[in-house]
Amino acid sequence: MEISHYISGQAVAGKRQKTGPVFNPSTGAKLYDLDYGDATLVDQATQAAQVAGKAWAQTSQAKRLQVIFKMRELVIAHTEEIAKITGLEHGKTIADAKGELSRGLEALEYATNAAQVSKGEFSLNVGGGIDVYSFRQPVGVVGCIAPFNFPVMVPLMMASMAIACGNAVIVKPSEKVPGAAFFLSDLWKEAGLPDGVWNIVNGDKQVVDAILQHPGIPAISFVGSTGVGEYIYHQGSAFNKRVAAYTGGKNHMVVMPDADLEAAASAFVSAAYGSSSQRCMAISLLLPVGRETAERLIELVVPKIKSLRLGAYDDNDADFGAVISADAKQVIEASLETALKDGASLLVDGRSHGVNSDGFYVGASLLDNVTTSMEMYKKEVFGPVRAIVRVGSLDEAIAVTNSHEYGNGAVIYTGSGNAAQRFVTEVKAGMLGVNVAVPVPVGHHNFGGLRRSKFGDAHMFGPDAARFYTDLKTVSQRWPEISGFDTLSMAFPSNS
Ligand code: NAD
């Protein structure tokens, strides 16, 4: 499959003035050079999207939603190919890639409710025979800027509701993993989506900046790192655009002494190291409450982590795969060294993972005695180096969790309803888990963090997505039986 841009229902090769390599992280081999678009290509895609989007917005809701239903069937039918492309370019195992795809499908399934979640309101005879109603219309063209760690789920989550609500989209996949989103293009076409409603412009910052600046793109959804998300939010806002940006996380998992420690240990290992920890909702930090809880948990988690098997994306026995790039590997490994210099102790040393390959493999490491002043605590490490921060009480656990700049997810394992209740009400994170280690909400609940894990007050996934991808208009109308209903009055209109 040749990966290129996709505009007006066709693959567009690009000028090849600027390209970037796409790797197979499992082997370290370069797969191909991806053409990077520019402002001219973004303009071409926007013009196509504006024309197609206008017609799509006028298409009946029933017809639009039939396309979403059909797309769901096609994605299911092509699960194997999509999972393979995802694993090949990302490094995650096929099983993990299929799990990712199933969450993308949830977004498609939820988007079939677009008619319900985007419908308006009506008030009869608010005064003087006037009725007031509100309705929602698609914003037009939406720019969707995606991260590398969910090559298919995030583009699907962003586009499903946007398209179902009658918009056209310009997707900018991560330049590291453009294949899976590109594969969706033919499926959308086969599902009956008119040409120009789904477009892809590949590339880097140059393309993102062109999307930010283009007057024909009024709304932008972004998922990625905090620095970039903050930039996109502020730049987009400066151009008076609607921006929702979901950004980095450092998810704390508190384990109380009354928790089922065996369950908590298993949950921690899978939530912390799955997908090489390259998930925004991965558990980064384990906070056992009390010395005994800490010692017991360490006894339980260490052998489990040591038994994890690293391998290529298509190795059915692998628990997790390589990280995305040689640069990422270096950054993750350096974070471990810094933590050790800062005084952390090492419980599991992933540096000796034993995989003999040029792939970007990083073994699972676990640090102990990490404190909130250490870089290991403060910075998001997007790879399998995880840390224990020991705390003495629930109060301290909540205070530590709230001291972090991020508030994406936070989790408590406990047998106490009271502790759980305090945790979910007092912790400032957008997605909370009680005895659930990866509390990614189902498609019909809003997804999104708080604090510096999210910029912009709108949610782009879940019920609020329908509001993000539409403009609200409110009409006050009167249909009098006789003429002469307006008389001159300079007072502000009142309904009394
Ligand atoms: P990234 O910020 O490097 O890239 C995201 C997108 O922004 C890509 O399409 C990239 O091309 C573009 N980009 C990169 N640098 C840019 C710049 N300087 N100017 C403009 N655009 C730029 O993120 P990533 O490494 O691809 O993804 C990992 C990050 O995403 C992690 O921080 C992770 O926590 C976060 N993430 C968050 C969520 C969430 O829901 N909160 C979900 C998934 C990933």
Encode pLDDT of 262-315 as tens digits: 999 999 999 999 999 999 999 999 999 999 999 999 999 999 999 999 999 999
Mean pLDDT within 243-264: 98
Confidence (pLDDT) at 197: 98
Model confidence at 141, in pLDDT bands (50, 70, 90)? very high
Q: What is the 3-state secondary structure (H, E, C) of 55-79?
A: HHHHCCHHHHHHHHHHHHHHHHHCH
Best mutation site among 225, 232, 453 for ligand 1 pocket (most ligand atoms within 8 Å of CB): 225
Confidence (pLDDT) at 443: 87
CA distance 271 to 294: 18
The answer to whether 247 and 229 have CB atoms below 8 angstroms apart is: yes
Model confidence at 434, in pLDDT bands (50, 70, 90)? very high
| Nearest atom in ligand 1 to 147's CA | 26
Confidence (pLDDT) at 457: 87
Q: Is the pLDDT of residue 342 over 90?
A: yes
Confidence (pLDDT) at 273: 98
* Residue closest by Cα to atom 43 of ligand 1: 280
Ligand 1 center–CA 222 separation, angstroms: 8
Residues 275-309: b if buried by 16+ CB within 10 A, e if exposed: bbbbbbbbbbbbbbbeeebbebbbebbbebbeebe
Q: Which string of DSSP letters, residue by residue, matches 98-143?
A: HHHHHHHHHHHHHHTTHHHHT--EEEEEEETTEEEEEEEEE-SEEE
Mean pLDDT of the chain: 96
User: Which residues are within 8 A (CB) of 178 and not within 5 positions of it... i.e. 6 or more apart?
Assistant: 3, 22, 34, 89, 151, 200, 202
Ligand 1 center–CA 413 separation, angstroms: 30
* Residue closest by Cα to atom 35 of ligand 1: 224
| Nearest atom in ligand 1 to 248's CA | 34
Annotated catalytic residue, options 162, 168, 271, 280: 280
Q: Is the CB of 278 under 6 A from ligand 1?
A: no
Mean pLDDT within 205-222: 98
Q: Is the pLDDT of residue 496 over 90?
A: no
Q: Is the CB of 396 under 6 A from ligand 1?
A: no
Kindly report which listed range (64-68, 219-223, 349-353) carries the lowest average pLDDT score.
349-353
Amino acid at 432: L
Other C-beta atoms lying within 10 Å of the C-beta of residue 238: 10
CA distance 88 to 359: 12
CA distance 401 to 251: 8
Model confidence at 488, in pLDDT bands (50, 70, 90)? confident
Ligand 1 center–CA 443 separation, angstroms: 21
Q: Is the CB of 279 under 6 A from ligand 1?
A: no
Strands 168-172 and 198-200: parallel
Ligand 1 center–CA 94 separation, angstroms: 22
CA distance 292 to 126: 64
**pTM assigned to the model:** 0.96
Region of residue 203 (left: phi > 0; alpha: psi -120 to 50; beta: else): left
* Residue closest by Cα to atom 19 of ligand 1: 205
Return phi, psi of residue 40, to 5°: -65, -45
Confidence (pLDDT) at 60: 96
Q: Is the pLDDT of residue 481 over 80?
A: no
Mean pLDDT within 48-68: 97
| Nearest atom in ligand 1 to 145's CA | 9
Ligand 1 center–CA 287 separation, angstroms: 27
Encode pLDDT of 144-153 as tens digits: 999 999 999 9
Q: Is the CB of 149 under 6 A from ligand 1?
A: yes
Best mutation site among 182, 247, 284, 325 for ligand 1 pocket (most ligand atoms within 8 Å of CB): 247
Strands 365-368 and 385-388: parallel
Radius of gyration of the chain (CA): 25
Q: Is the pLDDT of residue 487 over 90?
A: no
Confidence (pLDDT) at 128: 85
Whether 280 is catalytic is yes
The answer to whether 163 and 465 have CB atoms below 8 angstroms apart is: no
Encode pLDDT of 375-409 as tens digits: 999 999 999 999 999 999 999 999 999 999 999 99
Ligand 1 center–CA 398 separation, angstroms: 28
Using a pLDDT cut of 70, give the percent of the chain over it: 100
Q: By C-alpha distance, which of 147, 322, 378 is closest to 245?
A: 147
Mean pLDDT within 117-140: 95
| Nearest atom in ligand 1 to 232's CA | 20
